[in-house]
Structures are given as C-alpha cells and as structure tokens.
A and B are shown apart, each in its own frame.
Chain A
C-alpha cells in the first residue's frame, strides 16, 4: 500500500463512515509531516489511519492530534508496559528518541484522517531519522500489532465525546512542559523560552522573558542546559 493516510483520505472523500480504519503491514510511500518520508519495515511497524467526522468546528480539529498522541502513549503503557512521553504536539518519545509519529490530514468539508506509524520491532536504519527508536529497541517486548492498534482506538474513542478532557493526561505525559524550548516561528526567526502549559486549544505556551507566547504550529526543539 502506498500510504494508509492516502487510502483513508480517498475513502473519506467517497463517504466512508467515522471509524473506518485502514491498516498496512508496511507502506511504499509513507509520509510524515510536511511531505517528509516515513520509513517502515515489513512486519516491524504498526501503520494505520482512521476516518473521523468530528462534530467540532474546523478550528478545533487540530486538537485531535493531541488526543491521538495521548491515546498512543496510554496504549503503549497498557500493551507493552512502555512509559512513553509526548514532545509537543504529538511526537511519541521513549527516553529522548522518537518511536512513533502521527500525521493528521483534514478532508474538507467534514472529515479528518488520523494516521500513525509506530516502530514496533526490528532495526531502525541509522539514516531513517535522527534519534529514532522502536519499542523493542527500547528494551520492551514486542506487542502484537493488532493488540496495540485495538488499544489505541479504544483509548482515542474514550476521549472523543469530549476531546478537551484529554488535557490533564496530556500535561502528565508531556516531555515538553517545564523544559526550555526553541520554537521556529512561521515567517522566519525563532523564539526561546520556557514551555509553561498547553492551553485548551492545544497551543503551547512559552514564557519568553516574561512574555507568554502562544505557539500553534511549527517545530519545537527541546534545549538542553548546554544549548
């Protein structure tokens, strides 16, 4: 399959119902955010996308990517005992290495597709991405991919009646809050400060020398003390 998001978007365009799930063993044209590639290994990754028809105004849709991140972290804990954390907005980390990515795409007028790629087992090539790992690479036992997917969808679905209810859990799982970060600002330049909170819109609040700046897009870099 080229990409589960592409197939799910096509199905959504054809009227597929909420909850339609597309699963692949691996992808030939996996996509990460902003057109980046997403590598997967036959048998070694969980690759899935699902269709939503949210009863939310479109400006609330991006918040669903935070819900997906929490659902995936909680599912990893239940299925594999792995304590994963979230780098804002929804990179799933084990330690400081990324083990899963989430790519959400809207399909106007009313559908959203949420896709995820989880490195479950096997070897992550050195050139796949800087700081990448897998569940097995982090020392945990490989879960059955179907068990992991079922738990992700269950956890995600449990938050859907009230997506904002995910925020307390999101804050607990955040690897970003409390750290110094650099945010790339759209339109150029960057901003450095302390990540203080995530608001009800999902935006990251950064205290930059006493001024609180609300960041909704772009890349965040976690700074270490020596940066």
Chain B
C-alpha cells in the first residue's frame, strides 16, 4: 500500500484523481507548483486510489503523504 509523499514544499495546483479511482503506474495524481515550476506527482504503481489527502489551493510540506494507492 504505497504512500505517495511530497518531495518539497509546494502549492497544490491540481488534484486529478479521487478515492476509488483506478490508476496506472506513472499516471499523474496531483500537480504541485513552486516558484513557477509545475511538478507532477505520479503513481508509483498500478492500483486503486484509497486516499487523497490534499486539496487544490492547499499547501504540502516535504514528506507529507499526498495520496495512498492500494
């Protein structure tokens, strides 16, 4: 059950998935933004999104768990 962590402090620009959704490895889950760089966060595995812990317009700190994939 991989947790997907934020690698940096950033704004949450887009949330592209919701709980229950099937995703493939490499699929973009969330797009972060910091200092005018857009950073897609991808699913590490094929699976189902079991939790999304961020909202568009919110902030993540390094190490925050963005989503969990079952």
User: A residues within 8 Å of B by Cβ?
Assistant: 33-34, 57-59, 61-66, 89-90, 102-108, 112, 186-188, 202-203, 216-218
Contacts and interface: CB of A to CB of B under 8 A. Distances in A.
Interface in B24-66: 33-42, 57-59, 62
Given A187-B58, A216-B34, A217-B33, 5 more contacts: A59-B62, A106-B39, A106-B40, A108-B40, A186-B58
A90 B12 CA distance: 20
B17 to A, nearest CB: 16
A104 B10 CA distance: 14
Q: Is the interface of B mostly helix, strand, loop or mixed?
A: strand
Chain B interface size, under 10 / 10 to 19 / 20 to 34 / 35 or more: 20 to 34
19 contacts: A33-B33, A33-B38, A58-B8, A59-B7, A59-B8, A59-B62, A61-B8, A61-B37, A62-B10, A63-B35, A65-B35, A66-B35, A105-B37, A107-B40, A108-B39, A108-B42, A216-B10, A217-B59, A218-B11
Nearest to B38: A105
A104 B36 contact: yes
Q: Is the interface of A mostly helix, strand, loop or mixed?
A: mixed
A103 B35 contact: no
Given A34-B13, A108-B42, A217-B10, A187 B57 contact: yes
A145 B1 CA distance: 51
A106 B42 contact: no
Q: Give the interface centre of B33, B34, B36, B39 by most chain A CB atoms within 10 Å.
A: B36
Contacts of B37: 61-62, 64-65, 104-106, 112
A58 B40 CA distance: 12
Given A59-B62, A217-B33, A186 B11 contact: yes
Contact of A216 (B9, B38, B39): B9
